[in-house]
Chain A
Amino acid sequence: MTKGIYLDNNATTRVDPEVLAEMLPLFTEQFGNPSSMHGFGAAVGGKIEWARKQVQALLGAAHDSEIVFTSGGTESDNTAILSALEAYPKKREIVTSVVEHPAVLSFCDHLEKKRGYTVHRIPVDRRGNLDMEAYRAALSERVAIVSIMWANNETGTIFPVEELAVLAKAAGAVFHTDAVQAVGKIPMTLADSAIDMLSLSGHKLHAPKGIGALYVKRGLRFRPLLRGGHQERSRRAGTENAPGIVGLGAAAQLALLHMGEENTRVRALRDTLERAILAAVPNCFVTGNPDNRLPNTCNIAFEYIEGEAILLLLNEQGIAASSGSACTSGSLEPSHVMRAMGVPYTAAHGATRFSLSRETTEEEIDRVIAVVPGIIEKLRSFSPYWQADAGRPKEFAPVYS
C-alpha cells in the first residue's frame, strides 16, 4: 500500500509537528502544576496564559479571560447548555437544530427526558439550511438557551450564527454555538458579535485530542459544570491539561496563520475533487449547501450503493474518508443529518464525506480522483438497484421492501 491519503479531517486531524514541539517540554522539563506556588508551577502558568491569548486571537474575542479551557467539544457543549439552564432556572425551554452533533442533541434529549425541559429542534431544508421561520417562532422569553452549530460536521453547511445570535438575544435567550468544525477554517470576530458562548475542540485543528475551549462572553451569567478547585477562574475545576492547552495555543496560532490558505488552496483542491467526481460518476450529488459551506468539506451521496463498502474499498487504496451510513456506526439508520435534509434512502446510505486539511496535496487529490469512479462502478456492478450495462438505476422490489 502506498502512503495513506487522509481525507477525514472533520473526524480528527494530525497533530502539527510544530504543535507537538511546543507541547513536549510540558511533559518533561516544565511539568509543574500551574496552581503551585513555586517556580515549576509559575513557568507552566505563563505558558497557559500565552495559549489563552492565541485562542482569543483566533476567535477575535475581546478579552483573553473569556477563554475557558475544557477537555474538548463535548464538555464545552454540555457546560454551555447546563450553565444557561442553571443561571436562568425559570426558563424551561431550549432551542437547537435537528442536525447538531450528538454532543448537543443527545444532551438535549437527556434534559428533555430526565429533567422535563422543552426542546425545540429547528428543521433544515434539503440543502441543510436552517428554517428561519421555525427558528423565529421557537424563540420566546421562555427560552433559556439557543445552541446551534456554526457549521455542520457532515456537509460543511454554514449557519448564519451572527444573525441567529442577534435574534436569540432579542428574545432574551443566551446564545451558544458549537463551532467545533468552523474554528480555524473561517474567520471569526466574536468581540463584535452577539454570540455568548462558543465551543471548540483542539483535535479538529491539528492540536491533540482531549483539549478544547469554551468562549464565555464577559458579563454572561455562568455556572460551571465541573466544580472543585479554582482553576480557570473557578469556571472549570480540575488540574489543567497543560500540554494540551499549550498544544491548542500553538495550533490556534498556526490556524490563524493558515486561514488564508484554507480558504484558497484547500478550497480549490476540494472543488477540483468534487468537480472531477461529479463529472466521472453518474447518479451522485453533493449534499448540503454547496454555495455556503466550509472550504475543506465535500459530502457526495452515491446512489444505489452503501457507504461502508465504499470506505472499505477506498481504504484498500490507502484513502481514508468517512460515511454517514448506518453500517459504519453500528446503528442501523443513515445519519440523522441526511435524514433531516430528506436525502432519499437510495442516496443517504451512500453518502461519503471527504474532508481536507492544509496538509492535503494536489497529488493526493489526483489519486483520489483516479480511484473513486472505479470503486463506485465496481460496487454498482453488483448492486441489485443498478443496471450495470445500461449505466442507470433499475427497479428492484424485494419482498421486504
Chain B
Amino acid sequence: MWNYTDKVKEHFFNPKNSGVLDDANAVGEVGSITCGDALKLMMKVDADTQLIREAKFQTFGCGSAIASSSALTEMIIGKTVDEALTLTNRDIAEYLGGLPPEKMHCSVMGAEALRAAIANYKGEAWEDDHEEGELVCKCFGVDAAMIERAVTVNGLTTLEEVTHYTKAGGSCQTCHEKIEEVLEEVLAKSGALKPAARHAPGTVGLDAIKPLAPKAEAPAAPKLTNVQRMQAIMTAIEEMRPQIRRDGGDVELVDIDGKDIYVRLSGACSGCSQSAGTMMGVQMKLVEALGEFVRVKPASLMTAGV
C-alpha cells in the first residue's frame, strides 16, 4: 500500500468537483486508457475577467490521479487563466502534501490537462503543441516537450526519475535512449548535472510478451469409438509386453475408467524399484497410441466398484 498523505486520502475519498460541467468553455483531455491514467478537465471561464469560475473533472486512474485532479480543480477556481498557467505539477504535489515518487506522473497529468484546457479556451490547438515535440514514448504517448517540462520544473537528472514523473519509458523500454537524449539536451542547456548512464537496450522477458492472437478452432481429431479405443489400448499394451517379459516381468490391462487406465505389474516388475518408470513408459505409449492424455495407474488404486 502506498504511503499517501492525509490530504491525498481526503481528496481521493471525497473528491471535490468531480463530474461533468455541462456548459464548460474550456476542456482539456489528456492521458489514455492504455497507460492507466486519463483526465478530462472542464472549466467555465468568465470571458470578461478571465477568471475560472468553475472547474470539474473526470478521472480514470489510481488514488493519486483522482486526488491530483480534485486538488487541481480546487487550486484553479478563482484564478485567472494566466495565473493558472503558472501552476506546475510540483504545485499540485505540494498542495497534496507530497506524492510517492512513483506517483508524480499523476500530478504531471493534472498540469498537462490544465494546459490543454486553457489552450482549448484560447482556441489554440493543443494537438499541435503535442506534435511539435517528438513523440518519445509511444506506449504512454509522452512527447519531448512534456519530458522537457517535467525535467525543468522538477530538476530531474536520471532516466528513472523521468519515468516516475511522466511514465515515459515505463513499458517496452525501447525509448530509453531517446529519453536520455532529451534529458541530456535539457541538462546541457541548463548546465546542470551530467545525464544518467545509458540504459542497456533490449526487450526480452516480460516486456516481450504479446497476447496470443485468437485462432481458428483446430480440426478435431477423429474420435475413436469406445470399442476402437479399448482395442488401441490392448494393442499398445500387447506391443509392450515382450520387452517387459524379457526383463522378467509382465503387465496386464485390468480396467479402463475414462482417462484412468488400470494395469497390473507382475513378476520381476512387481515391487521393483523401477516400477514407477515402467508405469510411466506404459503411460507414454498409451498417450501416443490414443492421441489423448490418459493416466496409467496401478490396479491397487482402483476404487471399489470400478
Residues of A near any B CB (own CB < 8 A): 62, 98, 102, 105-106, 108-109, 112-113, 121, 123-126, 131, 133, 160, 162-163, 166-167, 169-170, 191-192, 194, 304-309, 312-313, 315-316, 325-328, 330-334, 336, 339-342, 345-346, 349, 381-385, 396-401
List of A residues within 8 angstroms of B18 by Cβ: 381-382
A192 to B139, CA, bound (A): 47
Residue from the list B29, B36, B130, B209 in contact with A306, Cβ < 8 A: B36
How many interface contacts (CB-CB < 8 Å) are there between A and B? 175
Q: Known: A166-B287, A306-B60, A382-B57. Contact between A332 and B295, CB under 8 A? A: no
Q: Least Cβ distance of B94 to chain A in Å?
A: 21
A163 to B259, CA, bound (A): 11
List of A residues within 8 angstroms of B158 by Cβ: none
Q: Least Cβ distance of A348 to chain B in Å?
A: 9
CB pair B36 A113 closer than 8 Å? no
Any A CB within 8 A of the CB of B276: yes
The binding surface of chain B is classed by DSSP as: mixed
Q: Which chain B residue has the least Cβ–Cβ distance from A112?
A: B204
List of A residues within 8 angstroms of B276 by Cβ: 62, 191-192
CB pair B205 A109 closer than 8 Å? yes
Q: Which chain B residue has the least Cβ–Cβ distance from A340?
A: B209
Q: Least Cβ distance of A193 to chain B in Å?
A: 8
Residues of B near any A CB (own CB < 8 A): 1-2, 12-13, 15, 18-19, 29-40, 57-66, 102-103, 112, 116, 126-127, 130, 139-142, 163, 167, 170-171, 202, 204-206, 208-212, 214, 218, 276, 279-280, 283-284, 287-288, 293, 295, 297-298, 301
- For this complex, 9 residue pairs linking A to B, each with C-beta atoms less than 8 Å apart, are A166-B280, A304-B60, A306-B37, A309-B61, A325-B62, A327-B63, A333-B36, A341-B211, A399-B126
CB pair B62 A308 closer than 8 Å? yes
A327 to B59, CA, bound (A): 14
CB pair A384 B38 closer than 8 Å? yes
CB pair B33 A194 closer than 8 Å? no
Q: Least Cβ distance of A344 to chain B in Å?
A: 9
CB pair A342 B212 closer than 8 Å? yes
CB pair B66 A401 closer than 8 Å? no
Q: Least Cβ distance of B69 to chain A in Å?
A: 8
List of B residues within 8 angstroms of A327 by Cβ: 36, 61-65, 103
CB pair A398 B62 closer than 8 Å? no
CB pair A396 B126 closer than 8 Å? no
CB pair A382 B293 closer than 8 Å? no
A384 to B58, CA, bound (A): 5
Residue from the list B35, B63, B167, B218 in contact with A312, Cβ < 8 A: B63
Q: Least Cβ distance of B43 to chain A in Å?
A: 15
A55 to B138, CA, bound (A): 49
A58 to B182, CA, bound (A): 57
6 further A-B pairs in the complex, CB-CB below 8 A; given A334-B36, A398-B40, A401-B33: A133-B218, A306-B61, A328-B62, A332-B167, A396-B29, A399-B116
Residue from the list A106, A191, A333 in contact with B205, Cβ < 8 A: A106
Q: Least Cβ distance of B96 to chain A in Å?
A: 15
CB pair A169 B280 closer than 8 Å? yes
Interface centre among B60, B287, B293 (most CB of A within 10 A): B60
CB pair B295 A398 closer than 8 Å? no
Residue from the list B12, B19, B34, B140 in contact with A309, Cβ < 8 A: B12
Residue from the list B59, B170, B283, B298 in contact with A332, Cβ < 8 A: B170
Q: Which chain B residue has the least Cβ–Cβ distance from A134?
A: B212
CB pair A194 B29 closer than 8 Å? no
Residue from the list B32, B103, B206, B214 in contact with A398, Cβ < 8 A: B32
Q: Which chain B residue has the least Cβ–Cβ distance from A342?
A: B211
Query: Which 9 residue pairs spanning A and B have beta carbons closest together?
Result: A342-B211, A332-B170, A398-B29, A109-B205, A327-B62, A400-B141, A123-B212, A308-B62, A384-B58
Q: Known: A169-B280, A342-B211. Contact between A349 and B33, CB under 8 A? A: yes
A345 to B142, CA, bound (A): 18
A109 to B209, CA, bound (A): 12
Q: Which chain B residue has the least Cβ–Cβ distance from A106?
A: B205
List of B residues within 8 angstroms of A333 by Cβ: 36, 139, 170-171
Q: Which chain A residue has the least Cβ–Cβ distance from B19?
A: A382
List of A residues within 8 angstroms of B66 by Cβ: 309, 382
Q: Least Cβ distance of B113 to chain A in Å?
A: 8
Q: Known: A316-B13, A325-B36. Contact between A401 and B204, CB under 8 A? A: no
List of A residues within 8 angstroms of B40 by Cβ: 384, 396, 398
CB pair B34 A401 closer than 8 Å? yes
A332 to B35, CA, bound (A): 7
Q: Least Cβ distance of B175 to chain A in Å?
A: 13
A98 to B209, CA, bound (A): 7
Q: Which chain B residue has the least Cβ–Cβ distance from A105?
A: B206
CB pair A400 B30 closer than 8 Å? yes
Interface centre among B63, B66, B212 (most CB of A within 10 A): B212
Q: Which chain A residue has the least Cβ–Cβ distance from B143?
A: A400
A384 to B69, CA, bound (A): 12
Q: Least Cβ distance of B143 to chain A in Å?
A: 8
A350 to B21, CA, bound (A): 26
Q: Which chain B residue has the least Cβ–Cβ distance from A304?
A: B60
Q: Known: A384-B29, A384-B40. Contact between A330 and B102, CB under 8 A? A: yes
A131 to B213, CA, bound (A): 11
List of B residues within 8 angstroms of A108 by Cβ: 205
List of A residues within 8 angstroms of B202 by Cβ: 113
A163 to B2, CA, bound (A): 42
List of A residues within 8 angstroms of B297 by Cβ: 192
Q: Which chain A residue has the least Cβ–Cβ distance from B56?
A: A382
A400 to B2, CA, bound (A): 26
List of B residues within 8 angstroms of A316 by Cβ: 13
Q: Which chain B residue has the least Cβ–Cβ distance from A219?
A: B277
List of A residues within 8 angstroms of B33 by Cβ: 304, 345-346, 349, 385, 401
CB pair B127 A399 closer than 8 Å? yes
Q: Least Cβ distance of B220 to chain A in Å?
A: 14
CB pair A400 B65 closer than 8 Å? no
CB pair A384 B39 closer than 8 Å? yes
List of A residues within 8 angstroms of B57 by Cβ: 382
CB pair A396 B38 closer than 8 Å? yes
